[in-house]
Chain A
Amino acid sequence: MPNILFEKCAISGIGETAYVRGSGKSETALQMEASLRAIADAGLSPKDIDGVIPYATGSAVAEDFITNFGIADLRLSATTPLGGAGCIAAVQNAVGAIVAGIANHVLIPIGRNGYSGARIGSRVQQLPQFRTVGEFEMPLGQIAPVQLYAQMARRHMETFGTKSEHFGKIAVTIREHATMNENTLMTEPLTLEQHQNSRMISDPLRLFDCCLESDGGAAIVISSGERARDLKSKPVYIMGIAEGHPDSPSAITQRPDMTTLGTAKAAPRAFGMAGVDHKDIDVAEIYDCFTYIVLCQLEDLGFCKKGEGGDFVASTSLGLDGPMPINTHGGLLSQAHIIGMNHIVELAKQLRGEAGKAQVRDAKIGLVTGYGDMGDGGVAIMRA
């Protein structure tokens, strides 16, 4: 199948702040800092940005970018409130706008104080997508995503024989990758024994099945392929992109198949658009808010069949030298929780050959996912 997006849109610039616990900066400042770095990486001026898709539940709005950057004629502003799938959904919006000729350089910034700002329990209560859970489940004590996802994980375990050790292997591998990264919160290796001995947060999910709470910002610029080719950094072309929403998107407990995410709807569309097959993927950055969500996405993406994720993880190396390197930066589990924008930035680095110690040899085609809001999935396939 031909790639219908062939060299039409590319990541032209990437930028990250330091990932820390306690940034001492406002969330808007983190977004501005990451954005300026991404714009400089592209070799653009902030004034060149003519589209912005700010973090949907963040502090900064399009007006802040117009004001700070002196943008004369912003042609596109939107938000994509899909939680951790929001960054991929933003890229999809940027691609649509660029292909339609609406904008030339679309900025997608993330910046948050997930550690020093509002904690998760109070944060989700503010989100409109959590209104149903807020009305019917939070009054019972079921509040945070880990509590909801624990019920998904249990269903998978009891139905398919998936084990906590399978989750552990994912956590151990991703931690190993974090130790190769200089901009990371977790710097020491994790053993399977440490994972198995870590305390239960929401049984069956343990502490080391859960992502970090961290402060930081990351941003990308999406440009038309034509313009990106003349810019400073090597363009990373978007070959295929899709978002997918699960059945019963607002209440996991009412979902007909609790073990399938919106990713299962997005993946065939993204692969079809890209015109590539699973065996063509050299590196994959999989949204990892929880280890179970990685395992479930590997199934929903089609790397293995539904229910076989445990066996797949047990029998396949997820490391840099294996057939399926994942989360080469350390992910949300061990690098930092930057809503998956750190996954997109890492994929761009891998495909540009700039991933340092974690560089996957000959990484030509890569995949990145987003996941959030109880089941929304995003999938993007890229190449340099």
Chain B
Amino acid sequence: MEIERIRPSLNEDTKPYWDGLKDGRLLFQKCGHCGTIRHYPRQVCSECFSMNVEWIEASGKGKVHTWAVSHHAFHPFFKRDLPMTFVTADMDEGVRVCARLRGDGVIPSIGMPVRVAFERLDDDLTVPVFYPA
């Protein structure tokens, strides 16, 4: 039996983000009132409490904030991918992105520059990944 992958719910708040990834664009929310950029997508700007929002395309550039390597999958779908290196990066826009690190044999460290790329998993799901910049 084919094991189903874990999928996002694609609700009203999050669908634009995932649609952006499908188009090869990393989108962040920007407050329509005070301009503060936020991530992950949510309903209210915590600076000015405005619910007006626009979506901006991110530069995709950042630096490693922290990282870890998973040797256990916790969901059968990901067993084929072990080990998995996860990087959380401070993006140039001031928010963080967490994604798998690609690039053979790369051991990350805090401050290492990374850039975002996009991996199409199937018709419905494209995820962000990092490469060393």
Contact = CB atoms under 8 A, between A and B. Distances in A.
Interface of A: 120-122, 125, 132, 134-144, 146-147, 150-155, 158-159, 199-205, 251, 253-254, 258
A120, A140, A144, A147 pick with most chain B CB within 10 angstroms = A140
B71 interface: yes
B100 A203 contact: no
Contacts of B125: 139
Nearest to A159: B110
B72 interface: yes
Contacts of A138: 6, 75
Interface string B35-47: 0000110000000
B70 A141 contact: yes
A254 B75 CA distance: 23
B65 A258 contact: yes
A155 B81 contact: no
Contacts of A144: 72, 74
A155 B110 contact: yes
A139 B127 contact: yes
A121 to B, nearest CB: 4
Contacts of A147: 68, 70, 74, 86
Interface size for chain B: under 10, 10 to 19, 20 to 34, or 35 or more residues? Answer: 35 or more
User: 8 shortest A-B CB distances, which residue pairs?
Assistant: A150-B68, A121-B74, A155-B66, A203-B69, A144-B74, A253-B98, A141-B78, A143-B74
Interface string B13-40: 0100100000000000000000000011
B84 interface: yes
Contacts of A253: 88, 96-98
B5 A139 contact: yes
B67 interface: yes
B95 interface: yes
Contacts of B86: 140-142, 147, 151
A205 B69 CA distance: 9
Interface of B: 5-9, 11, 14, 17, 39-40, 65-75, 78, 81, 83-84, 86, 88, 95-100, 109-110, 125, 127
Given A134-B8, A141-B81, A150-B69, 19 more contacts: A136-B8, A136-B40, A136-B98, A137-B98, A139-B5, A139-B6, A139-B7, A139-B8, A140-B86, A140-B127, A141-B86, A142-B86, A143-B74, A152-B66, A158-B110, A200-B71, A202-B70, A202-B71, A253-B98
Contacts of A134: 6, 8-9
B129 to A, nearest CB: 9
A147 B98 CA distance: 12
Nearest to A254: B96
Given A140-B86, A254-B40, A158 B109 contact: yes
A138, A154, A251 pick with most chain B CB within 10 angstroms = A154
A150 to B, nearest CB: 4
A154 to B, nearest CB: 5
Contacts of A155: 65-66, 110
A120 B75 CA distance: 10
A258 B81 CA distance: 26
A152, A159, A204, A251 pick with most chain B CB within 10 angstroms = A251
Contact of A121 (B17, B67, B75, B95): B75
Nearest to A142: B86
B6, B9, B69, B83 pick with most chain A CB within 10 angstroms = B6
A227 B69 CA distance: 53
A188 B66 CA distance: 35
Contact of A154 (B39, B67, B74): B67
Nearest to B73: A141
B6 A151 contact: no
Contacts of A146: 72
A256 to B, nearest CB: 10
Nearest to B82: A141
Contact of B14 (A120, A135, A153): A135
Contact of B88 (A122, A151, A159, A201): A151
Contact of A140 (B73, B74, B83, B100): B100
Nearest to A252: B88
A62 to B, nearest CB: 30
A70 to B, nearest CB: 42
Contact of B66 (A142, A143, A158): A158
B67 A151 contact: yes
A155 B110 CA distance: 8
A142 to B, nearest CB: 6
B72 A202 contact: yes
A120 B74 contact: yes
Nearest to B42: A132
Contacts of B88: 151, 253
